[in-house]
Structure 1
Amino acid sequence: MVTFDIELITDPICSWCFIAHRGLLKSFQLYKKTFPNGSVDNFNLVYRPYYLLDPSTPCINKQEFQDKIMSREQQNITYIRIKQLGRAYGIFFNFFEGELGGTREVHRLIHLAQTKKSLAVRDRVVEGVSRAYHENGMNISDWKILRQIAIDAGVCAEEVDEWSDMDADVGGEELDREVERFKQVVSGGGGGQRGVPVIIIQRKYRIDGAPDVGELLDIFGKIRNGESVEDEGNGFMCEIRSEKC
């Protein structure tokens, strides 16, 4: 039996991160169906935090934000491509409705769900946050929105209310340490700014950007067979103030 330890470094406002997440889940399912005895192998997926925007960034209308970083023509070209790929994974992106802002609080919710609740609850929180922002135009910097997502995912209201107390900042110190750690991972340990998603497999193989399912299956197969795997860096990713996101 093989256990695949996978870390997905992500920010919930990143469209390519949502695509990478869905791609990972699809690759897990296909692996178990297509590889001999693949059904007994395990995939251990852990979410790691990254900020595309400064946590103190005030909320801004999505359309206004996009207009600041690229022309309407560039937006149309960029988002047609992302929408087409998203549909292949069952994602229906809504790029221009709603607001975006700093994501520390949504990362704190995911961190608490990941460290204190079951994997099923954690996964429902992550999926709920992603769909709320990318499909439904909701402001996931707002704890009123996050509270309902958490409750719908199976967290009791009393616990969510404890988590949402920004003065108590439950889990905040641990989150801040993780953010600094994975900021260094994303930048390769240097000062150069990169973007997300970044996927780390078996704590040593790195994929920058959102790979397709075929690439993931090829990597999993090589690891399963004890073959060498090269780091990948050709996938699409979200970068700070980038037209790629």
Structure 2
Amino acid sequence: MKVEIFSDVVCPWCYIGHHRLHQAVRLYEGPVEIAHRPFQLDPDGVSSGEPLLSALERKFGGAAQVAQMTGHVAGVAAQDGLKLRFDRAIAANTFEAHRLIGLAGRAGRDADMTDRLFRAHFTDGLDVGDPATLATLAAEVGVEDTGEGAGEVRADLARARELGIRAVPLFLFEEKFAVSGAQPVETLVAALREVEQRTAQERAARVPGGDGCDDGACAV
């Protein structure tokens, strides 16, 4: 089964959703291919080293509002074993980070690269829009940055717009069934099993009928 997760590495709910999806896949125990797809919350954002809290306060109307928002999501993340340090995070444009995830995917390391970028932003206080920082993170994960992949990121971002995706995380199962938001692990496991069942039913419906016998009659 193929599951695509559309997310941004500066989105806290995406970090939680990423973590929960991989937990769900382990519990599901069936074969699952996870593809990490890019989405930019702020495609026009600039990586200037500005503290994230300052950027959020400017966008959402003050420190009190932002403290309430970040405190809530940090509390949810903590229950999942994730540490969000908004006081250390740095606002960043994430296009190049997504490009690295795409390159990592060629070697089957996109999950590791995504996780490292989430931790770099939310826990380590690193600027995931800074080229030197990204080079270090790529080396840590064992990803060779060839400079390629920008076109693929643009194509994936365009596809997300065509699909009508406006909020992340979004999980797309078999290119047909979508689940949005950082759903609980049990919900994601249930979704995997439901999609498996629906896909099996669709395959059975497409199998052409062969020779056989009806109830009470058999033409031989």
- TM superposition score normalised by structure 2: 0.83
Q: 2: distance between equivalents of 1:9 and 1:86?
A: 19
Q: Unaligned 5+ residue runs, structure 1?
A: 33-40, 164-169, 188-193, 229-245
Q: 1: distance between equivalents of 2:43 and 2:174?
A: 30
Deviations 1:56-110 (A, max 9, x none): 5243221210211232222222222211211122210011224212111111111
Question: Could you tell me which of 159, 166, 172 is aligned with 2:150?
Answer: 172
1:133–1:28 CA distance, 2 compared to 1 (3 A): same
Contact 1:61–1:97 (Cα < 8 Å) also in 2: yes
Letter in 2 for 1:198: L
Deviations 1:115-162 (A, max 9, x none): x31x2x32221111110001111100012111111111123xxx33x3
1:29 matched to 2:29? The reply is no
1:154 matched to 2:159? The reply is no
Contact 1:10–1:198 (Cα < 8 Å) also in 2: yes
Question: Could you tell me which of 90, 98, 117 is aligned with 1:129?
Answer: 117
Letter in 2 for 1:57: V
Q: Percent identity?
A: 22
2:104 is matched with: 113
**Number of aligned residue pairs:** 198
Letter in 2 for 1:90: G
Aligned-residue CA RMSD in angstroms? 1.9
Letter in 2 for 1:74: Q
Q: 2: distance between equivalents of 1:227 and 1:182?
A: 23
Letter in 2 for 1:113: A
Q: 2: distance between equivalents of 1:77 and 1:227?
A: 42
Alignment of 1:68-87 (within 5 A): 68=58, 69-87=60-78
Runs of 4+ in structure 1 over 6 Å off = none
Contact 1:61–1:99 (Cα < 8 Å) also in 2: yes
- TM superposition score normalised by structure 1: 0.75
Larger Rg: 2
